[in-house]
Amino acid sequence: MLNFANLFFTATAVSFILIKPLIKLANHCGFLDIPNARSSHKKATPLAGGVAIAGGFYTAVLIFAVPAEIFPGRAWLIYLPLAIFSLGLVDDYLHTAIDHKIKLLIEFIVAFLFVANGAFLHITPFIFVDQCISIFWIIGFINAFNLLDNMNGLSAFIAIFTTVFLCFFFIQQNNPATAVCLILAGACLGFLFFNYPTASIFMGDAGSLFIGSFISVLAIILNNTLVQNGESYALGLTLLFLLVPFIDTSLVIFLRLRAGRPIYCADRSHLSHQLVRFGFPPSTAVLILTAVSCFFSLIAILIIDACSKMFIL
């Protein structure tokens, strides 16, 4: 039986401890985000936060043997997001020198391997259809968390509270996915101390893609557990946990297409930027979106709890 407190605090501590050395290393190696016309930061900032998140995550995983718990018989799947992490790390260092088609190909391979090994949504009577939808789902939320990383603390805050709320469900189901939720939340928390409200380090694409890959799969596990429990609106309830990244990505894609811009070209059309235009400081905009995410996650938890009680009655 895993000790959940140990999982969370180990990931938090390791991530926290790694940040200072990573800041020094990044400054020494020139691994920095240089401000441009779109940037809200004024000085070059280290981009190695994703290394601390992944380091905290896998330290806890290896110490407490989580792979055997979460993916019985397929323990290697927990290391699959390292491919996405590595892609993001190279992209961060080269400053978007990697073609978007190559990024999409790597993301597709990762999504395909997850789906081929059983991590796919159960939403239609046809397995092949579910598998195809799930590939788009995983790729979509990998990029959703990447897009969400547009303001200090936002992607980390959303990831922490999403995984914590997922824990409320998984722990009642005695589901080993609880362990991954807590480790990911802890790893993000250790990083967040140095990223909000002002940032001495960014998570970069390495961190946001890594987070998105895990949360996309955790959401699949949630949906399938709800389906097994007889929940009629499983997919809708699952999306409530991911509403902020889902709406943010949808809005960004819509606005970029309407303006005739490629959807992979960065701009300031995100929900957070819209709130800033309404007059909110960036730090407040982040907290507002985090509160919205928590609100809808709580609504989902309450609906699930009410439906389970009705089913028992």
Whole-angstrom Cα distance, residue 107 to residue 143? 9
Whole-angstrom Cα distance, residue 222 to residue 212? 15
- What tokens appear for 181 in the block? 């939720």
Per-chain mean pLDDT for the chain: 89
Overall domain count for the chain: 1
Residue 70: predicted pLDDT: 66
Residue 36: predicted pLDDT: 62
Rg from Cα positions in the chain: 19
Backbone angles phi, psi at 156, to 5 degrees: -65, -45
pLDDT at 189 over 80: yes
Give residue 136's domain range: 4-312
pLDDT at 311 over 60: no
- What tokens appear for 159 in the block? 């990831």
Tell which residue, 49, 238, 247, 48, has the closest CA to residue 144: 247
pLDDT of 294-303, one tens digit each?
Answer: 999 999 999 9
Q: What are the distances in angstroms from CA 239 to CA 185, 186, 260, 279, 300?
A: 19, 23, 28, 29, 9
pLDDT of 68-91, one tens digit each?
Answer: 666 667 788 899 999 999 999 998
